[in-house]
């Protein structure tokens, strides 16, 4: 972790890849992606903790989709300067990743969007069935709060998935700032689609959605294809809102194929703070 306003975990060297998690979790929910880099050196992974999540303090003012987007955009500008980079976002982080691509344009090599937020509330198109497998004996043993969240974000309610949930999802949930989360839930969408204020992005993009996603669904996300001419899209079956956790190997393969299509940039020196004459 660093001492910046947005705390982040940095792994590897090379072309930056900014990783943005979803609502009320933290960077740990994206760590199952790491095996995709085992035979792909040259990527500097920057796993963010959004303000009010994980190790990052909440914003000094109100928390909303717009204020979190501004914080991420400012952080990227300060951390990467004009260096080309890629971005990956999951759920709410997918909405922010779309804002990053719109703001930085050609500086963004491409994006990977995992079950990204597109609509919210009653405007969402959600699937009728969101459970693919259920172990009632397991669920009966869980504390009510854990049972509710586990059932909401996973499609297969099994002992295997419970262990994955305990490792990658629950720690971030327990670390988030509840007051900031309540503010964000009340102002969860950016005031406009980021794509509507930017030209079509010509980089390589990946969209991963799931048939059993109980939070964002999968149909609404397909509208993004109209804004990204080089976007590949996959709809996974039997998987919920955390595909990178619930079917990690499949998502690692999709992300690996996306990474292999991205142009590689020569890393530039990281920006240093200007010296101050006293």
pLDDT, tens digit (0-9, with 9 covering 90-100), for 171-226: 999 999 999 999 999 999 999 999 998 999 999 999 999 999 999 999 999 999 99
**8 A C-beta contact, residue 117 and residue 92:** yes
In whole angstroms, what is the distance from residue 173 CA to residue 104 CA? 30
In whole angstroms, what is the distance from residue 140 CA to residue 189 CA? 35
Q: Dihedral through CA 91, CA 94, CA 99, CA 103, nearest 10?
A: 160
Conformation bin of residue 52: beta by default, left when phi > 0, alpha when psi is -120 to 50:
left
In whole angstroms, what is the distance from residue 97 CA to residue 89 CA? 5
Sign of CA dihedral 46, 244, 96, 225: positive
Instruction: Specify which residues 18 forms β-bridges with.
Output: 46, 87
Report the residue count for the chain: 278
Residue with tokens 């039997």: 238
Tell me what pLDDT residue 5 has: 77
Q: What pLDDT, in 10s, does the model give residues 31-76?
A: 999 999 999 999 999 999 999 999 999 999 999 999 999 999 999 9
Tell me what pLDDT residue 2 has: 37
Residue 60: exposure state from Cβ atoms within 10 A (0-12, 13-18, ≥19): exposed
In whole angstroms, what is the distance from residue 211 CA to residue 128 CA? 10
**Phi/psi of residue 101, each to 5°?**
-65, -40
Residue with tokens 């959600």: 126
Tell me what pLDDT residue 270 has: 52
**Phi/psi of residue 8, each to 5°?**
-150, 155
Tell me: pLDDT of 267 over 90. no
Question: In this structure, which CATH number among 3.30.70.520, 3.40.50.620, 3.40.50.970, 3.40.50.1820 belongs to the domain 8-133+171-261?
Answer: 3.40.50.1820
Tell me what pLDDT residue 264 has: 75
Rg of the chain in Å (alpha carbons)? 18
Question: Can you read off the two tokens belonging to residue 115?
Answer: 């079950």
Chain mean position to CA 234: 16
């Amino acid at each position: 972790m660093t001492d910046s306003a947005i705390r982040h975990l940095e792994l590897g060297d090379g072309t930056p890849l900014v990783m943005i998690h979803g609502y009320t979790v933290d960077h740990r929910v994206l760590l199952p992606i790491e095996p995709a880099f085992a035979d792909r050196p040259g990527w500097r992974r920057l796993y963010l903790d959004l303000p009010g999540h994980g190790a990052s303090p909440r914003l000094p003012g109100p928390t909303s989709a717009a204020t979190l987007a501004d914080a991420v955009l400012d952080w990227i500008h300060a951390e990467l300067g004009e260096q080309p980079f890629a971005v990956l976002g999951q759920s709410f982080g997918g909405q922010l990743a779309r804002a990053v691509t719109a703001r930085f344009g050609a500086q963004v090599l491409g994006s990977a969007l995992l079950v990204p937020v597109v609509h919210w509330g009653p405007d969402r198109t959600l699937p009728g069935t969101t459970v693919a497998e259920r172990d009632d004996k397991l669920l009966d043993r869980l504390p009510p709060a854990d049972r509710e969240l586990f059932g909401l974000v996973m499609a297969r309610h099994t002992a295997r998935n419970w262990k994955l949930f305990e490792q990658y999802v629950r720690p971030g949930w327990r670390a988030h700032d509840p007051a900031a989360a309540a503010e964000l839930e009340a102002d969860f969408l950016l005031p406009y689609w980021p794509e509507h204020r930017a030209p079509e992005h010509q980089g390589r993009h990946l969209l991963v959605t799931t048939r059993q996603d109980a939070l964002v669904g999968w149909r609404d996300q397909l509208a993004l294809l109209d804004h990204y001419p080089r976007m590949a899209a996959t709809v996974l079956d039997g998987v919920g809102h955390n595909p990178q956790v619930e079917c990690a190997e499949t998502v690692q393969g999709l992300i690996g194929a996306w990474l292999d299509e991205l142009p590689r940039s020569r890393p530039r020196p990281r920006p240093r703070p200007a010296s101050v004459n006293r």
